[in-house]
Amino acid sequence: MKRCLWCKLVESETTFDKKAHTIPKSLGGQNYNQTVCDNCNHFFGNATTENRYSIETALKETFCITRQRFLSGRTQKRQVGKFKSIFFDVKERNGKLRLVLNKSFQFKTEFQQQLCRNFKRGLIKMWFEEFDRQSKSNIGQDEKFDIIRQFSRYNFGNLPVIYFERKYGIFLFTKSEAETPTLILNRMNYLYENEKFTEIEFLGHVFGFPIAQFTREDFDLYIKSSLEKKTDFFVNAVLLDKLIDIDFTLRVMDK
C-alpha cells in the first residue's frame, strides 16, 4: 500500500492522482515521486497566507538565475536583462554580475531570512524526494528522516544548510543538464556524506545538510571531514543565512 513520504497517510486516507515533480518542472525537472500525496504536493507548489509564495517558488526563483546564466553561455556578451527572478534583480558593476534583492521586498523586515528558510526547505525537499525515488525501495519512509518532514513540510525546527564556495569557475555539467537538471547522487568525489549528513550538487552549486538527528559534535566533525575532501576545489563553507551568500549569478566564472 502507498504511504505518503511526507504526511504518512495511506491510499485509503488520501489521494495520489497528481504527479509530484521532485525537481520543479519550471526548472526543467522531469522526474516525479509516486509516494507524495496530492495534499502534500499541493502544499509545496502553492502560496501560503504566511509567505504569499510557495516553497517551490522559493527554490526555483533563485536557481533560475544560475540556469539562465549558464544557458546564455560564457563567451556570449552578457545581457543582464536576461536574468530574471521575482525576488532578485541582477545588476552589473565593473563587468561583474551581482544579486540584489528586488525593490518591492527591500523594506520588509526579515524577508530575506524567511526567503532563505523557505529556500532551504525546498532544497531539502528536492533531495529527499529524489533520494527516495532513486532508491526504488521507499527508503524515505524511515523514521530517521522525520526531521526533514518536520522542517520542510511542517515548518518546525531549523536545519542548517552549508554552501560551499568554489575556488574556480569550472563546472562539470553540460548544457543539456542545465536545460534538464538532474540530481545525480554521489557523482563527484569531493562530495562527502555519512549517516547523518549528505551533500548535493545542483546546477553547479554544492550544499550540505543534515538528514537525521545530530549533535553539535556530529556537526563539527561533518564540516571538518567535508572540507578535507574539498581543499582542491572549494575555499569555504558558509552557513546559509541569506540567499545573496550564494553565487547564483556564477561570478566565479568571471575570475
Could you tell me the smallest distance in angstroms from the CB atom of residue 148 to Zn ion?
Answer: 14
CA distances from 110 to 33, 78, 195 (A): 33, 32, 33
Judged by beta carbon, residue 33 or residue 249, the one nearer Zn ion is 33
Return the SS3 of 32: strand
Q: How far is the CB of 3 from Zn ion (least distance, A)?
A: 9
- d(CA 36, CA 6) in angstroms, rounded, equals 7
Closest to Zn ion by CB, 67 or 149: 149
Report in angstroms how near the CB of residue 121 gets to Zn ion at its nearest. 15
We find the least distance from the C-beta atom of residue 12 to Zn ion, in angstroms, to be 13
User: Cα(20)–Cα(37) distance, rounded to whole angstroms?
Assistant: 8
HSE-CB of 212 using CA atoms within 13 angstroms: 13
With respect to Zn ion, which residue has the nearer C-beta, 7 or 221?
7
User: Do residues 58 and 117 lie in contact, with contact meaning Cβ atoms separated by under 8 Å?
Assistant: no
Given the complex with Zn ion, which of 4 and 115 has the nearer CB atom? 4
Comparing CB distances to Zn ion, the nearer of 7 and 188 is: 7
Q: Provide the binding-site residues for Zn ion, judged by CB under 5 A.
A: 4, 6-7, 37, 40
CB contact set of 244 (below 8 Å; sequence gap of 6+) = 88, 99, 100, 101, 112
Q: How far is the CB of 2 from Zn ion (least distance, A)?
A: 10
